[in-house]
């Protein structure tokens, strides 16, 4: 840092509706921008000037660079300096909002209070900007190729969907472009698009709100610029293929996941701003959008969505960085229950919050990685385990205990091993396809699970279905991607699991080489691969169990023998709970074959009702 310059001192903002805008400048004597210069102005969010807001990742927090503001030096990170220089490329001046400069980042009490106040304005700041510029980082040959591919895919998709006499020809051309984009080669083991979507920006929490509130969004990667609409269209393969099961592999869905949440939230904001009502929109579903995102501070998994939730009419705890994360998460959970008037949040549990001191019914939103497992939140409404019953619950006055009406189903007698794998290999954040490590983990788990399941195979299963069908449906949660498994998908899944069992149990010689080869050949079919990936994703970080009543099911990784399986009024899934002092702890949702459509609930009566106290 230049010792001649005095450090820049922030002036406190005059009102709670004030924010700062940075005007950066390029000088002729410094065309390479060796030293960044600018000036700060205080503005009102109620009468904002014309400016652009920046969305980027902080990465290394070291304050290794500086910007000169009104003749004084403000230390900033290298990533902030890099994005400012990129915004000035080809320009002499530009008015921007960038958090590293426009919000006091120091740690004194006044700065913390200002930061809490500015976080409450964040959504409005991004909404008032003429455009939100997303900086993904410097480009290279691979990212340039990925950007060109996305642009070509976007245009080709438009033509493929257009009616006319050459529709089939345009469809085939589009499919060739898609095949090129996702092809796995030695040079590109994760496909062409990986060079763009591997950027850290796509895994951050704060950027969801930043893009959702934007009037317009432009992505910068090196010299390449791509509009959000182009990126979304470029990876919207399903709009042409029609359904996930028609896609050649799960890889085609993987890329969509990187941008889908941003695009969907932005579309929700647009529809609300146009006066449309969205009765199915819930606070829980919005908070679910950050389940695979990362944040430096745990409380930012809530605060990062504060502004957009407020804009959409939902209440979250006001940002206050003097509160502990468990306080923030508990308050957020109460908000979900009170405003959604449902218990959907229980579907987000996996038991990992207990180690953090959270009440067992409060979702652990800290991130994708749990202490001993992987956070893979899903809310599925495919099932009606509690029949047509309605939610019945009470929050205690101190909001630490949740009373829920339910019925006992049984106790976990035996539990299998956890289908665990390195979280970095999980398709949601790691390689964009099911890796050999994932298949190895699944294979080991299925070997173990079939031994667990055989404990109840000697007698007829309550549903009357053959043992193998019960086992396969249970392994797959009776689900492929987000839908109930079809007979065709069940047949494919059965072949897949049968081969695993045969090859690992010494039965291969009995099958015969020709049968094995034909089965292996069938398993290379893209549809079979897609079905297997769409179903196996439900098994990761789960374990199989049997109950004392002879039922077979799947549970979160933290479930254990002796835990109870219960049905809760109004809830789609059964839940694993653990008796403890003062009541029960909720471990998480599960699957029990033969009860998922209300069979067990409807076979009982009001005399079986129990008020569970979750602590």
pLDDT in tens, 388-415: 999 999 998 788 999 999 999 999 999 9
pLDDT of 433 above 50: no
pLDDT higher for 292 or 106? Answer: 106
448 membership: H or E segment, kind and range = helix 436-453
Q: How confident is the model over 178-193, as pLDDT tens digits?
A: 988 888 888 888 889 9
- Distance, CA of 550 to CA of 236 (rounded, Å): 44
Question: Which of the four pLDDT bands, split at 50, 70 and 90, describes residue 369?
Answer: very low
pLDDT of 511 above 90: no
pTM for this one? 0.84
Residue range 424-447: mean pLDDT, rounded: 64
216 membership: H or E segment, kind and range = none
Question: Which of the four pLDDT bands, split at 50, 70 and 90, describes residue 443?
Answer: confident
- pLDDT value for 505: 58
What percentage of the chain reaches a pLDDT higher than 90? 63
Q: CA separation (Å) from 301 to 205, 255, 429?
A: 6, 23, 17
- Distance, CA of 408 to CA of 495 (rounded, Å): 35
- Distance, CA of 555 to CA of 592 (rounded, Å): 9
pLDDT of 36 above 80: yes
- Distance, CA of 2 to CA of 35 (rounded, Å): 10
- Report which of 90, 85, 253, 267 is spatially closest to residue 178, judged by C-alpha positions: 253
Contact 382, 481 (CB under 8 A): no
Output the six-digit token pair for 539.
């098994």
What are 21's strand-pairing partners?
41
- pLDDT value for 428: 43
- pLDDT value for 373: 35
- Report which of 362, 367, 366 is spatially closest to residue 345, judged by C-alpha positions: 362
- pLDDT value for 374: 37
pLDDT of 82 above 50: yes
- Report which of 123, 558, 108, 528 is spatially closest to residue 304, judged by C-alpha positions: 123
Q: How confident is the model over 131-186, as pLDDT tens digits?
A: 999 999 999 999 999 999 999 999 999 999 998 888 889 999 998 999 888 888 88
- pLDDT value for 437: 72
Which of 362-366, 483-487, 559-563 is predicted least confidently?
483-487
Query: Across all residues in the chain, what is the average pLDDT?
Result: 87
Contact 553, 584 (CB under 8 A): no
Residue range 75-87: mean pLDDT, rounded: 95
By DSSP bridging, strand 36-44 and strand 65-69 are: parallel
pLDDT of 295 above 80: yes
> Which phi and psi angles does 415 have, rounded to 5°?
-130, 145
pLDDT of 447 above 60: yes
Q: How confident is the model over 531-564, as pLDDT tens digits?
A: 556 567 778 889 999 999 999 999 999 999 999 9
Which of 22-26, 288-292, 475-479, 588-592 is predicted least confidently?
288-292
212 membership: H or E segment, kind and range = helix 206-212
Residue range 495-523: mean pLDDT, rounded: 61
What percentage of the chain reaches a pLDDT higher than 70? 87
Question: Which of the four pLDDT bands, split at 50, 70 and 90, describes residue 37?
Answer: very high
Question: Which of the four pLDDT bands, split at 50, 70 and 90, describes residue 422?
Answer: low
Residue range 485-496: mean pLDDT, rounded: 84
Question: Which of the four pLDDT bands, split at 50, 70 and 90, describes residue 372?
Answer: very low
Q: How confident is the model over 260-287, as pLDDT tens digits?
A: 889 999 999 999 999 999 999 999 999 9
pLDDT higher for 383 or 439? Answer: 383
- pLDDT value for 401: 96
pLDDT higher for 368 or 550? Answer: 550
pLDDT of 125 above 60: yes
Q: How confident is the model over 44-72, as pLDDT tens digits?
A: 999 999 999 999 998 888 899 999 998 99
- pLDDT value for 522: 58
- Distance, CA of 544 to CA of 388 (rounded, Å): 27
Task: Classify the C-alpha dihedral 211-255-435-446 as positive or negative.
Answer: positive
- pLDDT value for 525: 56
- pLDDT value for 121: 94
Question: Which of the four pLDDT bands, split at 50, 70 and 90, describes residue 519?
Answer: low
pLDDT of 595 above 80: yes
């Amino acid at each position: 840092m230049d010792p001649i310059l005095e450090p820049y001192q922030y002036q406190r903002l005059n009102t709670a509706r004030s924010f700062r805008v940075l005007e950066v400048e390029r000088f002729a004597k410094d065309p390479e921008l060796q030293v960044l210069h600018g000036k700060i102005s205080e503005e009102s969010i109620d009468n904002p000037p014309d400016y652009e807001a920046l969305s980027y990742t902080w990465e290394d927090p070291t304050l290794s660079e500086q910007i000169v503001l009104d003749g004084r030096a403000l230390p900033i990170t290298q990533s902030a300096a890099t994005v400012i220089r990129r915004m000035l490329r080809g320009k002499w001046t530009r008015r921007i909002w960038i958090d590293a400069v426009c919000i006091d980042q120091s740690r004194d009490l006044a700065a913390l209070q200002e930061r809490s106040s500015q976080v409450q304005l964040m959504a409005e700041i991004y909404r008032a900007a003429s455009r939100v510029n997303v900086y993904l980082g410097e480009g290279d040959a691979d990212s340039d190729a990925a950007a060109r591919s996305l642009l070509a895919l976007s245009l080709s998709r438009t033509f493929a969907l257009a009616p006319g006499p050459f529709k089939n020809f345009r469809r085939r051309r589009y499919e060739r472009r898609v095949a090129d984009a996702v092809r796995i080669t030695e040079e590109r083991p994760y496909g062409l698009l990986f060079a763009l979507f591997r950027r850290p920006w796509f895994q951050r929490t704060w950027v969801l709100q930043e893009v959702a509130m934007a009037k317009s969004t432009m992505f910068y990667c090196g010299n390449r610029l791509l509009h959000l609409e182009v990126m979304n269209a470029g990876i919207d393969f399903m709009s042409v293929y029609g359904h996930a099961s028609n896609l050649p592999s799960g890889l085609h869905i993987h890329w969509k996941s990187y941008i889908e949440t941003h695009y969907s939230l932005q579309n929700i904001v647009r529809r609300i701003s146009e006066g449309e009502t969205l009765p199915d929109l819930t606070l829980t579903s919005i908070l679910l959008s950050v389940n695979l995102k990362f944040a430096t501070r745990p409380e930012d998994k809530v605060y990062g969505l504060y502004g957009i939730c407020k804009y959409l009419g939902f209440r979250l705890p006001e940002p206050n960085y003097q509160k502990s994360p468990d306080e923030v998460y508990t308050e957020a959970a109460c908000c979900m229950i009170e405003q959604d008037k449902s218990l959907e949040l229980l579907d987000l549990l996996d038991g990992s919050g207990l180690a953090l001191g959270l009440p067992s019914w409060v979702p652990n939103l800290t991130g994708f990685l749990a202490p001993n497992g992987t956070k893979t939140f899903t809310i599925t409404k495919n099932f009606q385990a509690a029949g047509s019953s309605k939610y019945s619950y009470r929050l205690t006055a101190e909001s630490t205990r949740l009373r829920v009406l339910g019925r006992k189903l049984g106790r976990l007698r035996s539990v299998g091993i956890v289908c665990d794998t390195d979280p970095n290999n999980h398709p949601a954040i790691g390689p964009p396809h099911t890796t050999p490590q994932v298949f190895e983990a699944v294979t080991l788990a299925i070997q173990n699970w079939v031994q667990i399941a055989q404990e109840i195979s000697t007698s007829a299963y309550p549903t009357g279905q053959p043992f193998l069908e019960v086992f396969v449906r249970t392994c797959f949660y009776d689900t492929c991607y987000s839908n109930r498994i079809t007979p065709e998908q069940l047949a494919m899944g059965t072949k897949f699991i049968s081969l695993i069992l045969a090859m690992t149990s010494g039965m291969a010689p009995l099958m015969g080489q020709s049968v094995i080869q034909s089965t292996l050949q069938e398993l290379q079919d893209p549809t079979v691969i897609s079905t297997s990936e769409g179903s196996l994703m439900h098994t990761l970080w789960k374990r199989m169990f049997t109950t004392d009543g002879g039922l077979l099911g799947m549970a979160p990784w933290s479930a254990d023998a002796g835990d109870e399986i219960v049905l809760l009024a109004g809830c789609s899934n059964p839940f694993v709970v653990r008796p403890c002092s003062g009541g029960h702890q909720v471990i998480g949702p599960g699957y029990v074959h033969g009860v998922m459509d209300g069979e067990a609930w409807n076979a009982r009566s009001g005399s079986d009702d129990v008020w569970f106290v979750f602590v």
